[in-house]
Amino acid sequence: MTDTTTILAETRARIADAPDVEALRAIEREVVGKDGVVASLLKSIPGLPPEERKGAGQSANELKQAVLAAIEEREASLGSAALEAERRADGFDGTLPPPRVERGTLHPVTQVTRELEDLFTSMGYMVLDGPEVELDDYNFEKLNIPADHPARDTQDTFYCSSPGSSASLLLRTHTSPVQVRAMERLEPPFRAIVPGKVFRQETTDASHEHTFHQMEGLVIDRNVSVGHLIGAMKTLLRGIFKKEIEVRLRPGYFPFVEPGFELDARCPFCTDGCSVCKRTTWIELLPCGLVHPNVLKAGGLDPEEWGGFAFGLGLSRLVMLRYGIDDVRHLLGGDLRFLDQF
């Protein structure tokens, strides 16, 4: 019988000469395979004198391990030689790490919108959508803002026309047109929110942008009071800031509500004044009020029977507050250095 030391020496020499991986596989089958040299060595053990059996088994196993290690080593060096040859041939470098796969995330505005949608649907609100290119009629007239109304000056926008039509079209300046569209289509009572993009003809700076996001809220029911409005707003703030937030109403004028209010929230970031609340401890959060009878009429509802409240949440502003973003232009700037942070 050939001793394992000789077999190992011979096998190693063949492995070192193997020209490719196929040749290595052949040697591997021949030596450590099912019917290979090691297997026949192990098979012969029972025929040996008892005192030799243990030693024979041990050396057969050592042979197997040593051959496998030599094959692995040769395979690695064949592999890097192949890569090296490839790199020289066509400039491709297979040793470089693969390009990083960029994983996208949801935009912060989308994240907050979805959170608010969950919150409001849990309170029985529907989520509605409306056209971004809107009729003047819905954006202004039906919201109690006639053509000569001064409120139009503060909501200058982009006007457009449609070929073959005399309809006066514009990019909507707020999500409020959907109030009337909802009243026209839905059977009262109902509750709805309308998240979406709005547009203004605006000189842009850190707090002004030509395109931003709002979320309209509308509740139509019998006997709706300011108390219902405050209750809904407190629930909203608790959902956003995850704690109880004190609110206050100041009289405010908006043509489509009567009475109208500015709702302020106690600054969630400080107790004695900070830069967010401009040292006042109050943050101006949203305009709101009870739906104006003229708007109810424009939506085909009888103001004697139906009432409601509405609010216009500045979604972009809320996202900025939530994440401490100091410039509204970051939101739609498309800069990955900004977006990567969410």
Q: Which is nearer to Zn ion, 133 or 270 (CB)?
A: 270
What b/e readout covers 231-265, taking b as 16+ CB neighbours within 10 angstroms? ebbbebbeebbeeebeeebeebebbbbeebbbbbb
Minimum distance from residue 323 beta carbon to Zn ion (Å): 16
Minimum distance from residue 279 beta carbon to Zn ion (Å): 8
Q: Which is nearer to Zn ion, 28 or 264 (CB)?
A: 264
Q: Which is nearer to Zn ion, 167 or 270 (CB)?
A: 270
Q: Which is nearer to Zn ion, 130 or 314 (CB)?
A: 314
Minimum distance from residue 269 beta carbon to Zn ion (Å): 5
Angle at 234 between CA 233 and CA 237, to 5 degrees: 85
Three-state DSSP class for 319?
A: helix
Phi/psi of residue 177, nearest 5 degrees: -55, -30
Distances from the Cα of 149 to the Cαs of 155, 174, 297, in angstroms? 11, 16, 19
Angle at 199 between CA 197 and CA 201, to 5 degrees: 165
Angle at 142 between CA 258 and CA 179, to 5 degrees: 70
Residue matched to tokens 């507050």: 321
Signed CA dihedral, 194, 199, 203, 205: sign only: positive
Three-state DSSP class for 300?
A: coil
Minimum distance from residue 237 beta carbon to Zn ion (Å): 14
Q: Which is nearer to Zn ion, 167 or 274 (CB)?
A: 274
Q: Which is nearer to Zn ion, 215 or 283 (CB)?
A: 283
Minimum distance from residue 120 beta carbon to Zn ion (Å): 26
Minimum distance from residue 322 beta carbon to Zn ion (Å): 14
- Contact yes or no for 265/283 (Cβ under 8 A): yes
Minimum distance from residue 324 beta carbon to Zn ion (Å): 12
Residue 53 has a CB neighbour count (10 Å cut-off) of 13
On the CB side of 191, CA atoms within 13 Å amount to 14
Q: Which is nearer to Zn ion, 247 or 276 (CB)?
A: 276
Q: Which residues bind Zn ion (CB under 5 A)?
A: 267, 269-270, 274, 276-277
